[in-house]
């Protein structure tokens, strides 16, 4: 059974262009310059049959993303092929889209107990629980493979394993809970017969997670920043990459160096920040990544893993 993968959004929080950013990349994409493509915020859809889909994170752009991709269109009155959502962490960029999926559509929500605990603090999520069975919450236990099910209990043919990867709690929950291994996970997804997709769109140390990546058919990896001081050097009042739990792609200790010779056929950077030169298809940094065997995700990228 084939694993169908559809990249809905490939940009980091804020999208590309970011609404309040006048960096060279954002201005260039607004002006339609060659080598720059607009992107929505990070999210992926997966399916075992091309009919029923699960979202990996629900971005604030989820409505635009579902309208842009025909496999996610309703097929009858008040229907959606989206059966559920799997969260890798509790960042607002990954959970705000849940509030847009509130039109009485039964869904399942998979996340670690820590992430679910954080979501319980959000009273607005009650809009997803207007009737019994509208939202079914399932705990992702670290290191344990399980089959995803829709809200009515129908098996999906998709199997997921969540593995803790270096990260940090979401900003809006910092100080409310002690840091936990459940704050940030990577997902390994497969069907009973397909190769695996590893999705790790937020990670502070890709080298430490290398054993998780080995043997996958495809890897979607955090490509937020190219360099450690990317934002400070532009004059943005934010810290370096690692202070936000994102390992930069380039430079000494970057993910390109840490994952040199990784034995994964499709290696793809996603969750790319608007300031990252990887977004420019004519940049030297893009050429370096391509030469090392990496791709840069675009919205609408389709993978079929056998």
Question: Residue 82 sits in a domain of what CATH number?
Answer: 3.60.15.10
Residues 9-24: pLDDT tens digits? 999 999 999 999 999 9
C-alpha 57/C-alpha 223 separation (Å) is 16
More confident residue, 55 or 132: 55
CB 56, CB 33: distance < 8 Å: no
What average pLDDT does this structure show over 111-136?
87
- The pTM (predicted TM-score) of the whole model is 0.96
Residue 145 has pLDDT above 90, yes or no: yes
> What's the confidence (pLDDT) of residue 288?
98
Residues 6+ apart with CB under 8 A from 291: none
Residues 153-192: pLDDT tens digits? 999 999 999 999 999 888 877 777 788 999 999 999 999 9
Local confidence band at 126 (pLDDT 50, 70, 90 cut-offs): confident
C-alpha 140/C-alpha 131 separation (Å) is 24
Residues 235-287: pLDDT tens digits? 998 889 999 999 999 999 999 999 999 999 999 999 999 999 999 999 999 99
> What's the confidence (pLDDT) of residue 120?
87
Would you give the end-to-end CA distance of the chain in angstroms? Answer: 7
C-alpha 202/C-alpha 221 separation (Å) is 7
35-44, 121-130, 244-253 — which is least confidently predicted?
121-130
> Which residues in 177-196 are b (16+ Cβ under 10 Å) and which e?
eeeeebbbbbbbbbbeebbb
Tokens (6 digits) for 262: 């990784």
> What's the confidence (pLDDT) of residue 132?
86
Residue 104 has pLDDT above 90, yes or no: no
User: Hunting for tokens 């979501």 — which residue is that?
Assistant: 119
Total domains present in the chain? 1
User: Hunting for tokens 């065997």 — which residue is that?
Assistant: 293
Structural domain boundaries enclosing 146: 3-305
Percentage of residues in the chain with pLDDT exceeding 90? 87
Residue 295 has pLDDT above 80, yes or no: yes
More confident residue, 132 or 27: 27
Residue 203 has pLDDT above 90, yes or no: yes
Local confidence band at 69 (pLDDT 50, 70, 90 cut-offs): very high
């Amino acid at each position: 059974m084939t694993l169908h993968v559809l990249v809905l959004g490939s940009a980091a929080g804020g999208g590309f262009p970011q609404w309040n950013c006048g960096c060279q990349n954002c201005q260039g994409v607004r002006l339609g310059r060659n080598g720059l493509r607009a992107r929505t915020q990070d999210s992926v859809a997966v399916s075992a049959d091309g009919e029923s889909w699960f979202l990996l994170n629900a971005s604030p752009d989820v409505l635009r993303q579902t309208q842009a991709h025909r496999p996610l269109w309703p097929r009858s009155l008040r229907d959606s092929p989206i059966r559920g959502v799997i969260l890798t962490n509790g960042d607002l960029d990954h959970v705000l889209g849940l509030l847009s999926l509130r039109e009485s559509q039964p869904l399942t929500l998979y996340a670690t107990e820590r992430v679910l605990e954080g979501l319980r603090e959000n009273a607005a999520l009650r809009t997803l629980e207007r009737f019994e069975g509208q939202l079914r919450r399932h705990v992702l236990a670290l290191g344990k493979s399980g089959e995803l099910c829709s809200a009515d209990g129908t098996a999906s043919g998709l199997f997921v394993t969540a593995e803790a990867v270096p990260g940090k709690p979401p900003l809006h929950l910092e100080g409310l809970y002690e840091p936990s291994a459940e704050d940030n996970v990577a997902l390994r997804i497969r069907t009973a017969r397909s190769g695996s997709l590893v999705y790790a769109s937020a990670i502070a140390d890709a080298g430490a997670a290398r054993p998780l990546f080995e043997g996958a058919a495809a890897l979607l990896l955090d490509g937020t920043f190219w360099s450690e001081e990317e934002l400070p050097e532009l004059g943005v009042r934010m810290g370096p990459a690692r202070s936000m739990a994102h390992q930069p792609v380039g430079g000494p200790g970057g993910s390109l160096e840490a994952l040199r010779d990784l034995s994964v056929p499709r290696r793809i950077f996603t969750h790319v920040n608007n300031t990252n030169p990887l977004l420019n298809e004519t940049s030297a940094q893009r050429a370096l990544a391509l030469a090392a065997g990496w791709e840069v995700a675009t919205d609408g990228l389709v993978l079929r893993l056998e």
